[in-house]
A and B are shown apart, each in its own frame.
Chain A
Amino acid sequence: MKFTLSWLKRHLDTTATLDEIVETLTDLGLEVEGVENPAARLASFTLAKVQDAQPHPDADRLRVCTVETDEGIKQIVCGAPNARAGITVVLCKPGDYVPGIDVKLSVGKIRGVESHGMLASERELELSDEHDGIIELPSGEVGQKFVDWLALHRPERVDPVIEIAITPNRPDALGVRGIARDLAARGLGQLKPLETPTIAGEFPCPIGVEIAEDARENGCHVFAGRLIRGVKNGPSPEWLQNQLRAIGLRPISALVDVTNFFTYDRNRPLHVFDADKVQGNLRIHRSEGGETIVGLDEKTYQFAPGMVVISDDHGVESIAGIMGGDATGCTDDTVNVFLEAAVWDTVQIATTGRALKINSDARYRNERGIDPAYNMQALEDAAAMIMALCGGTPSDVVVAGAVPDVARAYALNPARVESLVGMSIPAETQRQTLTNLGFRLEGDMAWVPSWRPDVLGEADLVEEVARIASLTKLEGKPLPRMQPGVPRPTMTPAQRREQTLRRTSAALGYNECISYSFIDQAAAALFGGGTEATMLANPISTEMSHMRPDLLPGLLQAAARNQARGQMDLALFEVGPAFHGGEPGQQHLQVAGLLVGRTGPKDVHASTRAVDVFDAKADAEALLSAIGAPEKMQILRDGPAWFHPGRHGVLCLGPKKRMAVFGEIHPGVLAKLDVKGPAVGFTIFPAEVPEPKAKSASRGALTLHDLQAVERDFAFVVDRDVEALTLVNAAAGADKALIAGVRVFDEFTGDKAEAQMGAGKKSIAITVRLQPTEKTLKEADIEAVSAKIVEKVSKATGGALRG
């Protein structure tokens, strides 16, 4: 919402400065977004008088002027044809910034003659495009500030324009009157009384109005109008044109400018029909669907069934409350004008406006809510203005429907302000504030003014009182702890787990990414999503059309972007929700890690290498361990299809408790996402990791054995597809009391191995650690347990001790 200071002063009698007004508006909740003050950039210029002007010795078009200024007589070279003795001019001195030519002046020589300043044209001061000569003022004293002269003689030239943001609850501030009322309530001046003319009709209105049955409910409350016969349309007076131009509106004609004036002055959209183009009567009704209209913006709109429109005998002539029709619009030739003032259902305006994608001043105001009680007086006020500007004879007023009754009152409880806001404001001040805002107080009941649809309860009264008193003055008061003493921990186990996983991932050398929750359909489909269930109805681009089913595609796309920038070795991770469906709650927390390229740059120690699946496995295991997952878990091979089918594993506690998956990313997936491999990754599902059972902080006693532990190595020949874990578990099960650990330390596989041990065979070597607890192991004890280990392993794997 834009307005000028002079427009504000039509309603507000105030001596406040522009700065005070601007600060107060923001404080009142009418946040100032910008102030354009033409005086600011003209502030340094003063008036001067040309005493003499002689031709320049070396240039035909230049004159050397002797100028009387507030700093004495100066010599100034000027190229303007009207530079001559006796005229009063605007002087720019050395050091001044001249906006129109974007130059800071200095004393200079022009063709060998010194010049101590500049005599300005209107264009050079950005007052207009006029540049045929320098400004000649009809009055003014030498040394007078130019802005002061303008304020006296051409106030519109230095009229500041203020732009404020309007929150949806304050439609009344979409009119200058409402803004003035707020300022006055704060004490920044007096609200000027309104004139309320009554225009007596001199003949019956020849155009009848009617609201069809279907438009009475949630359509149009009241539709009123009158004809003004014999007007002379044309340009509106300069003051009006200036005001409209200042706030960015184009003056069109007196009739149209009057409606725009009321739109901004009183938040009162009006419409004018050229009565001679209206056929028969006007009828408000709902469209059947398919009708079209060419709007005042010369665009064609087609109606959907149920939209409220205004028709005459010819057809639809207006998009009710949103935009008039081109065919019945007023032109310079309009002689008979029909003036409309109506109150429309706000929701209906909003939905129709949204559907037709029309953002007009009328829609903006009618959907936020105008003052319904002003409807009939608006017709008088606007008619008076039209007659004043264009002449004409008014008809009687025709009305359909009735002005809605919005009268309501709420109890003002002055103690509420103290208890809710924490400000102490005397009851009488509170009552006065409300009165100043237009509330009518009857005992404790505050009757809400008709222009404030937002006030709907007691809390709103508190808000008004506090707002006018100024929240800036609010003093903070300590909020006591809920219970005295040291604050208790607030994190839930799941939140602690998330933090541990995040910080452990970073400790493992991964860089945390946060990627968008939506990805493109193709990538989503690669990871088990991309269906309609997780699709956005209104994505901002096809790259962001589906909720991510998994975190890995986002990380892979990040890897591709980094590779394109020459970063080839990457360790990225993300913690966040993945979406297995499109309903609230169909999301689950994931922690995903991705390793691409090498473990580090090639180095002098040859310590780095290409990443492989065991890197991903190690990190997944470290993360699970960090959140207390059981040490013993199964590894299944039935993981999702975006992993290499033979090089991945699912870390789980049984087939239904899948805590993590790790593996090499499927080469096909890498190719589709444009990532150069090798790439391995993991995904952790924290919710699948059981909560630790221990409720106590105690660790339990540490059992240490004094007896010497013994390690023995075994190598087994097994079939190639036997899993090492099966072998390890079998060995460990041979004597649970004595065997403290089993470790694989070698795998011998491939052609050489098969040549030695037979086709389809490999060898796995393990170290078994025996920890006696009661007596030192003798060779015979070790032999016995070794035999048992060999037996168990052979039984479990079908393998044999390697000879």
Chain B
Amino acid sequence: MKRKILFLLCILPYCLFAQQKHTLSGYIYEKGSMESLPAVTIYLPDYNAAASSNSYGFYSITYSATDSVTVIYSYMGFAVDTVRLASVPNLSFNKLMDRTIKLRTVSVSAEKKSTEVAQMSTHTISALEIKSIPMLFGEKDLFKTLILMPGVSSGTEGTSGIFVRGGTPDQNLIILDEATIYNASHLLGFFSIFNGNAIKSAELIKGGFPARYGGRLSSVIDVTMKEGNKQTYHGEGGVGILSGHFMVEGPIVKNKSSFMVSGRRTWFDLLMRPVMAAIQPDFSAGYYFYDLNAKLNYDFGDKNKLYVSGYFGRDKFSMTHKTDDWEYKSKYTAGLYWQNGLAAIRWNHMFFNKLFSNLSFIFSDYKMNIFQIHNTQFNGFKNQLTYDFTSGIRDYTLKYDMTYIPNSMNTILMGVLVTYHEARPNAVQLNDDGRKFKNTTLAPGLEYALYLEDQINIKNKLRINPGFRLNFFSVPQKTYVAPEPRLSISYNLRKDLAMKASYAMMNQYMLLLSPTTVGLPTDLWVPVTKNIRPQRSQQVALGLVYEPKKTMMTFSVEGYYKKMDHIIAYLPGASFLNDLSDAMGGNFNETGNLDWDSKVTTGQAWAYGVEFLARKSMGKFTGWVAYTLSWAQQQFDELNYGKKFWARYDRRHDVSIVLMYSPTKRINLSLSWVYATGNALTLPTESYQIQSISNILERYGQMQSGDQDTHTWFMYAENFGTKNDFRMEAFHHLDIAVQFIKPHKKNKRFESIFEVSVYNVYNHKNPFMYMVMSAGYTQEKLVRRLAKITIFPIIPSFTYSFRF
């Protein structure tokens, strides 16, 4: 008996260890193009275990050893695929997934994505959705599509600056292939810099931020460029009312390496040039913008992949005026341009089937320039005055991210990042006929961060994503250290119903100086200083997601509360324009140094609300209905007498309805209707006379001297009521579009797409801005009128595009 017991005790450890684990890993690609697919669900029904592919398409899932394993791969817009694999301890399997016909005729039987992850407050936008939704002038735009999501609003009609959950546009972390973009707008905000043809996917995160993201308070907009088709050559192109675009992709080495190049340029200025020259030969003006995206990638095998991506885009406005008046000749040229340049080199390395890494070197450069050149000639004497003002920011970033998947319950992400921010708030060069002046202000900042997060999956019922990020930011004479805890939790009440909650603390070290009333490309990015602390936010969110099976629909309701501290605003009457004006006037005594931190004040803000979304993502009929009820307030001790006031972009109600219908393979119909409460404004309420000390003393002197003269100088002023107490009218418009897809008769690969769209179908006069107009005096009584400026009435558009 004793021997039996001893024998059992000896083999017991071996029995326990006999529960061997196998790991299945690999990459997931789209069949045909070989584009990697992120966020694909990999499900093992025999073990109720699930995993998802990372942003590079890599996945890894560990399960108990067995002879064979059934694996279900599912991804929205692709056919669900079930495979049975012979199981070995380290099984490597790259999966090719088939895109369904036209993306709208698939049925999905696997678990839906939203109830499978802890992450909440997130929306993913596909390139197809961007291309389908009707837009102003027929120009498809990522940001205009994001504005249709709950919790996201635009500043004014037509502009692409976005406000997420009560935050300002500078509080959005916008990244393109991991490179930060500081000004993502063309045409003063009417369009974003993202060319829809070059985008693979875009993800918007409004809360519950994973620890791998940091540096901004309100949102993360993570945009991924296409990699390029590794098997065949494809292209797209088109022309609309405002711009033309193209995209070409194809293999460099088949199945190993590919490229993608795309570009876009406005062409209206080219058309107008000869017309203006004919009408007014001595004056010309023009505006244009262009974008160029490029990406290369090379597979050195499953263990090593290299990606190189780049972007360059510029907006330029300029005017020239010539005078030729007998002995006096002059030529005056002035203009403004702004540009973004990005480059990113990324190296993926898989150490073994559970450990994946990515090393990135990223360069990002944003520059704004104002220039003027004035050449004059009088009686043979020549003079030249040139002026150049440049402002910008340049980032150099090195980051290393690792993903470790020890078992089916945990996915551990960790990383380190170093960024050198070289902000140049102003660089002035003046040359007044030989008298030269040059001054450059540098404001460097060094940012480094460490993060760690774990995606914990407990029996596909409870998912927890705890995270921690530690930030350091160094500026001259000061280093800021900020720990940032993060947490997201999702609990499946049922398979189709999940409750979610999240908490996130964020800090922002790069600040945007902007006049409160408008956003311009002349707004300045500056790092915090020893006097101005980083901005901070803390956000909690709670929500429910319901995804009934076989309906292809998602219903969600989410409430949030966000508190922001140390936000900045210009002091009354302050603006960098004061310094700019002095420098532009050629006043050599003014150095042009901004000294911006003495012109701003800090305060706090609150944003809270509830968002509803009903969305159908697949089938012939797709779209969504979104409604947001929200409040946003601010408080600064030195503004509005220290009292709380509504934020300019406070929107009580925001409704978006987007519908897309494909009755046949050749016709796409789409419609969008938006409604939003108007922005908040500060209006003058009363006018009155001001008497300074000098005025009163003058009256005193006149009275004491017995002077008959009673005239004295005085000034009229207008009192502004409570800040942002006035509401613009609500704006709403209906847009429709029809696309006709016509394949070429001989070459079936070539398709033409004709789109007719109408913006603002019922011609509602939406307010773009308000102006206080003087209607003069009536019987010495000051009369004022409020004028609403509208810029976009009903606008039909026609665009032609092709693809092969």
Pair from one complex: no
